[in-house]
Amino acid sequence: MNLIKMKHEFEKSCLDKSYPVYESSKLEFIGVDGFDVYNCSIPFSWKGERLIFGRVEKREEWARSWVRLFEEKGKDCWSVVPDSTIYTLEDPYVAVVGNELTLGGTNVRKRSGKVDNYYCDFYRGTKLNDMVYFTSGPDRMKDVRLVDLGSKIGVFSRPRGEYIRKEYGSESIIGYMEISTLDELDASVIESAPAVSGLFSRDQWGGCNQVYLLEDGMIGIIGHISYVDSGLDVYMNMSFVMNRETLQASELKIIGTRKCYPEGPCKKPYLKDCVFTGGIVMREDERVDLYSGLGDVDTGRIVIDYPFKGHGRVIGENNF
């Protein structure tokens, strides 16, 4: 899979409007002056409120983030929720499993001022001011994601490292397995997830950011796909669908790049072509809002066509 060619053709299609981007904007965050808010969860509705979790960090700092809760005040305008829990995490994401909200994020551990380890922490509950920590993922693994399948819970992993490169050629893979309850989720279960086929080629990596059960039984994934080009870490928004029975991925496509969003700064020069996907939210006009972090500084939103056409709607979409 030639990602450089795919990216060039995708951005050309955006210019000639054969792939329309109907809106493009940045989100405004109130109540966190002096901090950037990026790599957010998707917006979600809970107990009658419209909310979003965001990664909050000073521009000049690295791996010193907090996750905070914001409430919607207007179009693309969010205000920090006073006295809400502050989590020592990065890159939050949410999923509704049964009647509970689950919150996941990356916990970074430092030693002597340097990153020593990282892993996903998970919280659950029905009260956002009283979420309970319940498990962590494997060491040095980000982007673990959950999806409610009704009688089962889908678990997506994302192992990355030299051992993956040696076995698969790509820098990371995506794994998948199913469990019966959240109580079964732990590092060993996540680590045992079999690989999903049909994804990354040599020196490419990526992961799931938000996962959706579709009406035809397939699973729709909104994620990121990445490679290095001329010293830049190129991150793009992507989508694909997966067959739960065969673990075969198909219909992988780019659905957004940095050029789709408003211009703006980046935290480091090598991140200027980086969009770290949040996920999609269905709209009343049958299009979707696609949310994404921009250059590890901002959060953006674009409106695009529904990427899973032919597979029916998202089941449980009203939760978001």
Q: What is the CA radius of gyration of the chain?
A: 18
Q: What is the pLDDT of residues 146-157, one digit of tens each?
A: 999 999 999 999
Q: How confident is the model at residue 319 (pLDDT cuts 50, 70, 90)?
A: low
Flag whether pLDDT at 166 surpasses 70.
Answer: yes
Q: Would you give the distance in Å from CA 123 to the centre of its chain? A: 17
d(Cα 306, Cα 218) in Å, to the nearest integer?
15
Output the pLDDT for position 198.
87
The answer on pLDDT for 318 being more than 80 is no
**Structural domains in the chain?**
3-319 (2.115.10.20)
Mean pLDDT over residues 191-200, rounded?
Answer: 95
**What confidence tier does 316 reach under pLDDT thresholds 50, 70, 90?**
confident
d(CA 171, CA 156): 16
pLDDT tens sequence across 50-78: 999 999 999 999 899 999 999 999 999 99
The owner of tokens 């995490």 is 89
**Please, which pLDDT band fits residue 242 given cuts at 50, 70 and 90?**
very high
Beta-carbon contacts of 309 under 8 Å, excluding residues fewer than 6 positions away, are none
Name the one residue in this structure whose structure tokens are 């050029």.
259
CA 110 to chain centroid, in Å, comes to 23
Closest CA to 44 of 106, 105, 92, 107: 92
pLDDT in tens, 72-97: 999 999 999 999 999 999 999 999 99
Q: What is the pLDDT of residues 212-226, one digit of tens each?
A: 999 999 999 999 999
- Give the model's pLDDT for residue 36: 98
pLDDT digits (tens, 9 = 90+) for 16-52: 999 999 999 999 999 999 999 999 999 999 989 999 9
Average pLDDT, integer, range 95-119: 94
User: Does pLDDT of 118 surpass 90?
Assistant: yes
The mean predicted confidence, pLDDT, of the chain is 96
